[in-house]
C-alpha cells in the first residue's frame, strides 16, 4: 500500500452529510480521532439508539464514555451516508453471533457490511460491499508480556516468530499477530469466545498480507484474507475480509 491512513477530525464527519457509495469488491477504511468538542459529541450522542445511550451511561470515566459516544456516533453518521437514511434512525441489529448488521434498505438494493474498532483515543471503521469484514487497532505497549501471552494463547509457529525477533521488536511482532487474529474473529462475529490458538495467522513474506489456517472450519471460515494497515510506527491495525477478490480504499477525507 502506497498511502498512509489519515486520521481525521470527528468534526469533519459531523459537518458533512453527502452520499457515499462503496464500489463492488471494495472495502473502505476510515480513521478518526475520538477527541471531539462538545458540539460534535452532542451530535454524535443524538444519533445513538436507546441501547447505545444506556451503554454509554454505564461508563464510570468520562473519557471512556465520550470515546464510546464519538466512535459509535461517527459510525452511524457514516452508515447514514452510505445507506441514504438518517443516522439516528438506523437499526443496527445483532446477528445470532452478536455482530451488528445494518437493517436498512440500501440504494439500488446493494448491501453493505461494516465493523468498528477503537483504542487509546482513535478509531477505525471498515465498510464493504456486503462481504463480511473485521478490523482491529492497537497501540504498541513496549512493556507488554509478549512471550508470556504468546506461550499461553498463540500457535507454535506464531510464538516462534515472536521469539525469533530481536527483544526490542518482540512487542511489535506480538501485536501484529494479535490485531490480525482479532480482526478475523470480529469479522466472523465470534470474538474471543473462540480460542485464538485454534487458528494460525500465516503472513506472506512481505508481511503486509496474511491468510489463516483454522482447526475448526465449522466455526471459523478458512477464506479470510488479512491486510495490515499503514499506520504510525507505534500503532498496528489489521483488516480481515472474506475472500481474495477485493481491493482496499483508504479514505482521506469525508467529502461533502
pLDDT surpassing 90 at residue 11? yes
pLDDT surpassing 50 at residue 154? yes
How large is the average pLDDT for residues 46-52? Answer: 96
CA 242 to chain centre: 14
Alpha helices, DSSP H, located in 16-169? 38-47, 50-57, 62-83, 146-153, 156-164
Cβ-contact 74, 66 below 8 angstroms:
no
For helices 62-83 and 50-57, angle between their N-to-C axes, nearest 10 degrees:
160
Grid cell digits, residue 129: 460491499
- Exposure string for 189-225, b = 16+ CB within 10 A, e = fewer: beeeebebbebbbbbeeeeebbebebeeeeebbeebb
Distances (CA, A) of 166 to 162, 170, 174, 181, 191: 8, 6, 12, 22, 30
- Beginning with the edge strand found earlier in the chain, give each strand of the sheet holding 199-203 in spatial order: 133-139, 235-242, 224-228, 209-214, 199-203
For the stretch 26-48, pLDDT in tens is 999 999 999 999 999 999 999 99
Choose among 29, 4, 8: nearest CA to 230.
Answer: 4
Distance CA 162, CA 233 (A): 18
Choose among 236, 132, 230: nearest CA to 186.
Answer: 132
Tell me if residue 220 falls in helix, strand or coil: coil
- The percent of residues above 70 in pLDDT, for the chain, comes to 96
Residue 50: pLDDT band (50, 70, 90) is very high
Global model pTM greater than 0.85 = yes
Return the pLDDT at 1. 44
Q: Which domains does the chain have, with CATH numbers?
A: 7-131+245-250 (3.90.470.20), 137-242 (3.90.470.20)
Cβ-contact 243, 131 below 8 angstroms:
yes
Amino acid at each position: 500500500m502506497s498511502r498512509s491512513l489519515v486520521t481525521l477530525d470527528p468534526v469533519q464527519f459531523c459537518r458533512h452529510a453527502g452520499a457515499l457509495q462503496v464500489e463492488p469488491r471494495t472495502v473502505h477504511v476510515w480513521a478518526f480521532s475520538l477527541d471531539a468538542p462538545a458540539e460534535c459529541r452532542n451530535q454524535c450522542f443524538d444519533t445513538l439508539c436507546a441501547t447505545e445511550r444506556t451503554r454509554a451511561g454505564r461508563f464510570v470515566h468520562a473519557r471512556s464514555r465520550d470515546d464510546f459516544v464519538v466512535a459509535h456516533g461517527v459510525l452511524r453518521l457514516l452508515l447514514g451516508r452510505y445507506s441514504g437514511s438518517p443516522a439516528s434512525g438506523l437499526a443496527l441489529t445483532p446477528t445470532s453471533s452478536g455482530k451488528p448488521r445494518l437493517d436498512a434498505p440500501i440504494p439500488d438494493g446493494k448491501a453493505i457490511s461494516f465493523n468498528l474498532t477503537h483504542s487509546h483515543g482513535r478509531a477505525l471503521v471498515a465498510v464493504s460491499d456486503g462481504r463480511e469484514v473485521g478490523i482491529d487497532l492497537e497501540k504498541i505497549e513496549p512493556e507488554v508480556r509478549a512471550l508470556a501471552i504468546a506461550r499461553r494463547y498463540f500457535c507454535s509457529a506464531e510464538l516462534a516468530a515472536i521469539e525469533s525477533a530481536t527483544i526490542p521488536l518482540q512487542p511489535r511482532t506480538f501485536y501484529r499477530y494479535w490485531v490480525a487474529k482479532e480482526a478475523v474473529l470480529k469479522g466472523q462475529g465470534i470474538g474471543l469466545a473462540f480460542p485464538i490458538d485454534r487458528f494460525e495467522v500465516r503472513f506472506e513474506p512481505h508481511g503486509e498480507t496474511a491468510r489463516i489456517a483454522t482447526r475448526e472450519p465449522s466455526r471459523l471460515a478458512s477464506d479470510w484474507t488479512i491486510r495490515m494497515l499503514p499506520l504510525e510506527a507505534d500503532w498496528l491495525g489489521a483488516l480481515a475480509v472474506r475472500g481474495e477478490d477485493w481491493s482496499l480504499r483508504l479514505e482521506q477525507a469525508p467529502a461533502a
